[in-house]
Amino acid sequence: MKVILNEKDIKKIISNLVKKIIKKYKNLNKFGIIGIHTNGVYLAKRIAEKIEKSKKKKIDIGFLDITFYRDDIGYRQNIQSPKETEINFDLNNKDILLVDDVIYTGRTIRAAIEQILEIGRPKSISVAVLIDRGLRELPIYAEFVGKKIKTKPNQQVEILLREANLEGDKVIIYSK
Amino acid sequence: MKLLIKNAIVVEPSKNLEKKQDILIENGKIIEIKENIKLTQPHKQINANNFYVSAGFIDIHTHLREPGNEEEETINSGTKAAAAGGFTSVFCMPNTNPPIDDQAAVEFIMLKAKNEGLINVYPVGCVTKLRKGEELTEIGELKKAGVVAISDDGEPVENSKIMRRALEYSKMFNLPVIQHCEDKNLSKGGVINEGKVSTMLGVRGIPKESEEIIVIRDIILASLSKGFLHLTHISSKNSIEFIKQAKQKNINITCDVTPHHLVLTEDYLLKSPYDTNLKINPPLRTEEDRISLINAIKDDTVDCISSDHAPHTKEEKSKEFDLAPFGIIGLETLFPLCVTFLYYKHKVPLINIIKKITNNPAKIFNLKNKGKIEIGYDADLTIFSIQEEFIVSNFFSKSSNSPFIGWKLKGKIKYTICGGKVVFDSTNPKDPFYENKNFYNNKK
Amino acid sequence: MLNVKKFNHKHLLGLEYLSKEEIEIILETAKPFKKLFTRSIKKVPTLRGRSVALLFYEPSTRTRTSFELAAKRLSADTVNITVQTSSVQKGESLIDTAKTLEAMKADFIVIRHFYSGAPHILAQNVSSSIINAGDGFHEHPTQGLLDIFTIKEKKGKIKDLKVVILGDILHSRVARSNLWGLTKLQANVVLCGPPTLIPPEIEKIFPNVEIEYNLEKAIKNADVINILRVQFERQLEHLFPSVREYSLLYGMNKERLKIAKDDVLILHPGPMNRGIEITTDVADSLNSVINQQVTNGVAIRMAVLYLLSLNTTSTKL
Q: Over the stretch C221-270, which tens digit does the pLDDT of each residue have?
A: 999 999 998 887 776 667 888 888 899 999 999 999 999 999 999 999 98
B323 and B344 inside one domain: yes
Query: pLDDT value at position B424?
Result: 96
Give residue B1's pLDDT band: very low, low, confident or very high (50, 70, 90): confident
C283 and C300 inside one domain: no
Q: Are C227 and C175 in contact (CB under 8 A)?
A: no
Q: How far apart are CA A78 and CA B175, in angstroms?
A: 75
Query: pLDDT value at position C90?
Result: 60
Residue B437 has pLDDT above 60, yes or no: no
Q: How far apart are CA C61 and CA C270, in angstroms?
A: 10
Q: Please state the rounded mean pLDDT for residues B261-267.
A: 98
Mean model confidence pLDDT for chain B: 95
The DSSP H or E segment spanning C13 is none
Cβ–Cβ gap A76/C311 under 8 Å: yes
The domain of B311 spans 56-364
Q: Which of B308, B335, B364 is the last residue of a domain?
A: B364
Rounded (10°) CA dihedral C118, C120, C123, C129: 80
Query: pLDDT value at position C198?
Result: 96
Q: How far apart are CA B206 and CA B281, in angstroms?
A: 9
Interface contact C270, partner B, CB < 8 A? no
Interface contact A119, partner C, CB < 8 A? yes
Q: By three-state DSSP, how is residue A155 classified?
A: strand
Q: What are the tens digits of pLDDT across the range C87-98?
A: 555 667 889 988
Q: How far apart are CA B5 and CA B49, in angstroms?
A: 10
* C314: in domain: no
**CATH at residue C98:** 3.40.50.1370
Q: Please state the rounded mean pLDDT for residues C88-113.
A: 86
Domain tally for chain C? 2
Which 8-state DSSP code applies to residue C197?
Answer: G
Q: How far apart are CA C194 and CA C215, in angstroms?
A: 9
C151 and C121 inside one domain: no
Query: pLDDT value at position C78?
Result: 95
Q: Please state the rounded mean pLDDT for residues B53-75.
A: 97
Query: pLDDT value at position B45?
Result: 92
User: What is the full DSSP assignment across C219-250?
Assistant: HTT-SEEEEPPP-GGG-SS-SSS-HHHHHHHH
C160 and C121 inside one domain: no
B149 and B283 inside one domain: yes
Cβ–Cβ gap C116/B321 under 8 Å: yes
Q: By three-state DSSP, how is residue B82 classified?
A: helix
Cβ–Cβ gap B274/C117 under 8 Å: yes
Cβ–Cβ gap A68/C29 under 8 Å: no
Cβ–Cβ gap C47/A73 under 8 Å: yes
Q: What are the tens digits of pLDDT across the range B110-152?
A: 999 999 999 999 999 999 999 999 999 999 999 999 999 999 9
C146 and C55 inside one domain: no
Upstream peptide bond of C271 is cis (omega within 30 degrees of 0): yes
* C315: in domain: no
Chains A, C: CB contacts within 8 A come to: 57
Query: pLDDT value at position B442?
Result: 40
Q: How far apart are CA A161 and CA A155, in angstroms?
A: 19
Closest by alpha carbon to B89, among B416, B320, B438, B426?
B416
C125 and C34 inside one domain: yes
User: What is the full DSSP assignment across B58-80?
Assistant: EEEEE---TTT-TTT--HHHHHH
Which residue of chain A comes nearest to C310, CA vs CA? A74
Q: Please state the rounded mean pLDDT for residues C7-11.
A: 92
C300 and C193 inside one domain: no
Closest by alpha carbon to A40, among A48, A28, A51?
A48
Q: Which chain B positions have a beta carbon within 8 Å of C174's beta carbon?
A: none
The domain of C63 spans 4-140+295-309
Q: What are the tens digits of pLDDT across the range B294-350?
A: 999 999 999 999 999 999 999 999 999 999 999 999 999 999 999 999 999 999 999
Domain tally for chain B? 2
Q: Which chain C positions have a beta carbon within 8 Å of B189's beta carbon?
A: 236
Q: What are the tens digits of pLDDT across the range C15-71?
A: 999 999 999 999 999 999 998 888 878 888 889 889 999 999 988 888 999 999 999
Which 8-state DSSP code applies to residue B284?
Answer: P
Q: Please state the rounded mean pLDDT for residues A3-13.
A: 92
Q: Which chain C positions have a beta carbon within 8 Å of B321's beta carbon?
A: 115-117, 121
Cβ–Cβ gap C309/A73 under 8 Å: yes
How far off is chain C from A19, nearest CA to CA, in Å?
33
Q: Which chain A positions have a beta carbon within 8 Å of C306's beta carbon?
A: 68, 73, 82
Interface contact A147, partner C, CB < 8 A? no
Cβ neighbours of residue C85 closer than 8 Å, sequence gap 6 or more: none
Residue A71 has pLDDT above 80, yes or no: no
Query: pLDDT value at position B438?
Result: 43
Query: pLDDT value at position B317?
Result: 95
Mutate to test the interface with A, among C1, C35, C108 (most CBs of A within 10 A): C35
Q: Which of B364, B389, B412 is the last residue of a domain?
A: B364
Query: What Cα–Cα distance (Å) separates residue C44 from each residue in A15, A85, C146, C306?
Result: 35, 12, 21, 11
Q: Are A111 and A69 in contact (CB under 8 A)?
A: yes
Q: Note the ipTM here.
A: 0.92
| Residue type for position B231 | L
Closest by alpha carbon to A80, among C3, C1, C33?
C3
Domains of chain A plus CATH, in order, are: 2-72+82-175 (3.40.50.2020)
C46 and C61 inside one domain: yes
Q: How far apart are CA B86 and CA B84, in angstroms?
A: 5
Query: pLDDT value at position C310?
Result: 86
Catalytic residues of B: 308
Q: Are B297 and B356 in contact (CB under 8 A)?
A: yes
Cβ neighbours of residue C258 closer than 8 Å, sequence gap 6 or more: none
B340 and B391 inside one domain: no
Query: pLDDT value at position C84?
Result: 62
* C122: in domain: yes
* B371: in domain: no
Cβ–Cβ gap B189/C173 under 8 Å: no
Biggest CA-to-CA distance, chain A: 46
Q: Are A132 and A70 in contact (CB under 8 A)?
A: no
Residue B108 has pLDDT above 90, yes or no: yes
B128 and B36 inside one domain: no
How far off is chain A from C26, nearest CA to CA, in Å?
11
Residue C188 has pLDDT above 70, yes or no: yes
Cβ–Cβ gap B322/C201 under 8 Å: no
B20 and B44 inside one domain: yes
C149 and C57 inside one domain: no
Residue B5 has pLDDT above 70, yes or no: yes
Rounded (10°) CA dihedral A35, A40, A45, A48: -60
C205 and C109 inside one domain: no
Mutate to test the interface with C, among A65, A68, A118, A119 (most CBs of C within 10 A): A68
Q: At what angle do helices B287-298 and B350-357 cross, to 10 degrees?
A: 90
Of C95, C116, C204, the CB nearest to B202: C116
Of how many residues is chain B composed? 444
Cβ atoms < 10 Å from Cβ of C241: 10
Q: Which chain B positions have a beta carbon within 8 Å of C236's beta carbon?
A: 188-189, 204
Query: pLDDT value at position C39?
Result: 81
Query: pLDDT value at position B440?
Result: 41
Please, is C216 exposed, middle or buried when counting C-beta atoms within 10 Å of its C-beta (0-12, 13-18, 19+)?
exposed
Interface chains of chain A (3 or more CB pairs under 8 Å): C
C179 and C194 inside one domain: yes
Give residue A166's pLDDT band: very low, low, confident or very high (50, 70, 90): confident
C17 and C61 inside one domain: yes
Q: Which of B364, B391, B419 is the last residue of a domain?
A: B364
How far off is chain C from B199, nearest CA to CA, in Å?
6
Q: What are the tens digits of pLDDT across the range B381-397?
A: 999 999 999 999 999 99
**CATH at residue B30:** 2.30.40.10
* Range with lowest mean pLDDT among A13-17, B386-390, B424-428, B440-444: B440-444
Asked if C touches B (at least 3 Cβ pairs < 8 angstroms), the answer reads: yes
Cβ–Cβ gap B202/C135 under 8 Å: yes
Which residue of chain A comes nearest to C30, CA vs CA? A82
B151 and B205 inside one domain: yes
Q: Please state the rounded mean pLDDT for residues A64-82.
A: 74
B313 and B438 inside one domain: no
Query: pLDDT value at position C88?
Result: 55
Query: pLDDT value at position A75?
Result: 58
Interface contact A69, partner C, CB < 8 A? yes
Interface contact A115, partner C, CB < 8 A? yes
B60 and B31 inside one domain: no
Mutate to test the interface with B, among C116, C174, C211 (most CBs of B within 10 A): C116
Query: pLDDT value at position B435?
Result: 57
B227 and B348 inside one domain: yes
Interface chains of chain B (3 or more CB pairs under 8 Å): C
C96 and C196 inside one domain: no
Q: Please state the rounded mean pLDDT for residues B45-57.
A: 94
Q: What are the tens digits of pLDDT across the range B229-258?
A: 999 999 999 999 999 999 999 999 999 999
* C32: in domain: yes
Interface contact C116, partner B, CB < 8 A? yes
* B372: in domain: no
Interface contact C205, partner B, CB < 8 A? yes
Cβ neighbours of residue C19 closer than 8 Å, sequence gap 6 or more: C184
- Reported as half-sphere exposure (CB side, CA atoms, 13 A), residue A135 has a value of 15
Query: pLDDT value at position B444?
Result: 35
Residue B103 has pLDDT above 50, yes or no: yes
**CATH at residue B187:** 3.20.20.140
Interface chains of chain C (3 or more CB pairs under 8 Å): A, B
Residue B221 has pLDDT above 70, yes or no: yes
Q: Are B20 and B7 in contact (CB under 8 A)?
A: yes
* B370: in domain: no
Residue C301 has pLDDT above 50, yes or no: yes
Assign 3-class secondary structure to A60-112: EEEEECCHHHCCCCCCCCCCCCCCCCECCCCCCCCEEEEEEEEECCCHHHHHH
